[in-house]
Chains A and B, each alone.
Chain A
Amino acid sequence: MASSATHAAPASRRPPAAVSRGLMHPAAKPLLFALCLLPFGWLFYGALTDGLGANPAEYLIRATGDWTLRFLCLTLAVTPLRVLAGLPALARFRRMLGLFMYFYVVLHLVSYAWFDMGFDVSEIARDIAKRPFILVGFAAFLLLTPLAATSFNRAVKALGAKRWQALHKLVYAVAGLAVLHFFWMRAGKNDFAEVAVYAAILAVLLGWRVLQWAKRKRA
């Protein structure tokens, strides 16, 4: 963990103690877990009750992709928020958010393979070769897999904190690939408004890290 002494917010901006206490509450994690499951529950309910519109397959593939991007942003927002808001307690939610990103990307991939490709492996292979945006999305999923696989405490110990951290920096590459995947998917429609929103959020979150890194270099 970065030393909270150097990064602590000035006293005037320090959040009220109640917020920190709330974040440390034993119910905070189960509550967040339930919140993170809501989109899944809502999609599942929609699929059961024919509530996903005229093209439910497309809806599921898009919605799970959207939620993957949202959880990617949330996960990457934890550290900047923790530092800027002076809320070290936020760190305890990062792993769960990251794993939910993986949960939604798996749903995204399974929806595509199932509803679009009928689990036809040769069709999927042809599609990956034909469509660069599928290839990029698939690459992002592959890069995320070792991160999800080493998310438990014993893995951190086994790898050593340094190596574990280096490995988990792969998430920055995943962010770039995810935006490229979304951009290419929308390229045919020339409609980049939503892509721009995610790209801007991720650029700010990654840009903040670059600034921190530059500051540390200078120091």
Chain B
Amino acid sequence: MLIKTNDDGFIHPVPGEITPRAAYQNRRELLRFMASGAAGGTLAAWAGRQALAQQVQRPGKLAPLPGTRSAVAGAVTMEKVTDYKDAASYNNFYEFGTDKADPARNAHTLKTTPWTVEVDGLVKKPAKYAIEDLLKLSAQEERIYRLRCVEGWSMVIPWVGYSLARLIEKVEPLGNAKYVEFITQADRATMPGLRASVLDWPYAEGLRLDEAMHPLTLLAFGMYGEVLPNQNGAPVRLVVPWKYGFKSGKSIVRIRFTEQEPRTAWNKAAANEYGFYSNVNPNVDHPRWSQATERRIGEDGLFAKKRKTLMFNGYEAQVGQLYAGMDLKKNY
């Protein structure tokens, strides 16, 4: 077996361990009841904190974009959510500079309205979607995903969006469509990073059609209950939680269905380091560093040991079958 299942005990939520929605809401109401003062001063303060700790706090910086808790299997991890401050200030978005502080500093120039996303290639119904229509195409869901960067750090981010499959169903891929290519914005006037020839712009990424159709593959419009900050890929980005972060293109302008595997920006830049699949895999090292461990941003203290990286970033139960029989060392 090439796909090893070195279970750490906490990787996959057993259905029985997932709190039923009703129980969860009851508990929430009880806590709110206690927090309202009925249970007395000190206890109320404690309960109030507990109630806050369990729900994603809206930072109040951008327009709200609420989503209902997703019912997709594996879509809501119970791990502690990363601080919005960190998630919105520590970014790889090379169109705004290669330092991780650059995007938050420079991305204010990005113009997200008007915005259109062209969906074409091998589909029956190619279309150009205005962002307003894309937002309404399906109900917005909140999904709390682990995000693992190929550089060896990770975050837990509450995204708002819906399964990319909803859009794919709308455009009806033809029988010979096998891959989906994602092209992101490349505007020299608003993106200072394009002046450096770090990558072959525009940024391009791709998925196999079945990966793109997987319910966990998210077309995201928001995070932390608000629309996406520019530096996180506003107004619409992809999130593929079992792959390294760079597979998820930011500020998407075009989605194209193809028969051939699309060339990706990172694959063109360094094919031996960044393969097409780029599934999170602790057993396959990056050519220049180990992928066995990762640093959780903001949570582990400076002196804490790094945590073990999980196969498929902890989504093996949900996506493992997509790669049955594949050599993941070759298809890295």
Hey, which bits of chain A sit against chain B, CB under 8 A?
A: 47, 53-58, 60, 114-116, 118, 126-127, 130-131, 133, 188-191, 193
The answer to whether A53 touches B90, judged by C-beta atoms less than 8 angstroms apart, is: yes
CB<8 Å pairs between A and B, sample of 17: A53-B90, A54-B85, A54-B86, A54-B89, A54-B90, A55-B90, A57-B295, A115-B303, A127-B290, A131-B288, A188-B288, A189-B98, A190-B198, A190-B269, A190-B270, A191-B196, A191-B198
Known: A130-B288, A131-B289, A188-B288. A53 touches B101 (CB 8 A): yes
Query: Which residues on B sit within 8 Å (CB–CB) of A193?
Result: 196
Q: Whose C-beta in chain A lies nearest to the C-beta of B285?
A: A130
- Does A115 contact B199, Cβ atoms closer than 8 Å? no
Give 1 or 0 for each of B190-203: 1 = CB within 8 Å of chain A CB. 00000011110000
Beyond A58-B295, A189-B98, 14 additional contacts (C-beta under 8 Å) are A53-B101, A54-B100, A54-B297, A55-B100, A55-B153, A55-B297, A60-B302, A115-B302, A115-B303, A188-B273, A188-B288, A190-B197, A190-B269, A193-B196
Let me know if B320 is at the binding interface, CB within 8 A: no
Residue of A126, A131, A190 contacting most chain B CB atoms (<10 Å) = A190
The reply on B306 being an interface residue by CB < 8 A is yes
A54 touches B198 (CB 8 A): no
- Distance between A46 CB and nearest chain B CB, rounded to angstroms: 11
Least CB distance, B212 to chain A, in whole angstroms: 27
| Dominant SS among interface residues on chain A | helix
**Which residues in B have their C-beta under 8 angstroms from that of A60?**
302
User: B273 to chain A: which residues have CB within 8 Å?
Assistant: 188
**Distance in angstroms between the alpha carbons of A179 and B86 in the assembled complex:** 31
B177-198 contacts to A (CB < 8 Å): 196-198
Q: Which residues of A contact B85 (CB under 8 A)?
A: 54
Question: A138 CB to closest chain B CB, in angstroms?
Answer: 15
Minimum C-beta distance from A115 to chain B (A): 6
**Residue pair A53, B89 in contact (C-beta under 8 Å):** yes
Nearest Cβ in chain A — how far from B271, in angstroms?
A: 13
- Shortest Cβ gap from B26 to chain A (Å): 36
User: CA separation between A132 and B90, bound complex, in Å?
Assistant: 27
Q: A56 — which chain B residues lie within 8 A by C-beta?
A: 302
For A58, the chain B residues whose CB sits under 8 A away are: 153, 295
Identify the closest chain A residue to B288 (Cβ).
Answer: A131
Chain B residues whose CB sits within 8 angstroms of the CB of A188 once the complex forms:
270, 273, 288
Within the assembled complex, what's the spacing in Å between the Cα atoms of A189 and B100?
Answer: 12
Give complex CA distance A44, B303 in Å: 14
Distance to closest chain A CB from B191 (angstroms): 15
> Which residues does chain A contribute within 8 Å of B86, judged by CB atoms?
54
Q: How far is the CA of A127 from the CA of B288 in the complex (A)?
A: 9
**Chain A residues whose C-beta falls within 8 Å of the C-beta of B198 in the assembled complex:** 189-191
- Please measure, in the bound complex, the distance between the C-alpha atom of A187 and the C-alpha atom of B269, giving whole angstroms: 11
B298 near A: Cβ within 8 Å? yes
| Inter-chain contacts of B288 with A (CB < 8 A) | 130-131, 133, 188
Distance in angstroms from B154 CB to nearest chain A CB is 11
Return the CB mask of B131-171 against A: 1 if under 8 Å, else 0: 00000000000000000000001000000000000000000
What distance in Å separates the Cβ of A195 from its nearest Cβ neighbour in chain B?
12
**Minimal Cβ-Cβ distance residue in A for B304:** A118
Contact (Cβ within 8 A) A130 B289: yes
Output the least CB separation between A57 and chain B (Å): 6
Minimal beta-carbon separation of A130 from chain B (angstroms): 7
Q: How far is the CA of A47 from the CA of B302 in the complex (A)?
A: 8
B290 and A118 within 8 A (CB): no
Convert B20-32 into 0s and 1s, putting 1 for each residue whose CB lies closer than 8 angstroms to a CB of A.
0000000000000
Separation of A60 and B269 alpha carbons in the complex (Å): 28
Residues from chain A with a CB closer than 8 A to the CB of B303 are 114-115
Q: Which of A47, A54, A188, A191 has the most chain B CB atoms inside 10 A of its CB? A: A54
- Cα separation A189 to B86 with both chains bound (whole Å): 22
Contacts of B306 in A (CB 8 A): 116, 118
Residues from chain A with Cβ under 8 Å of B100 in the complex: 54-55
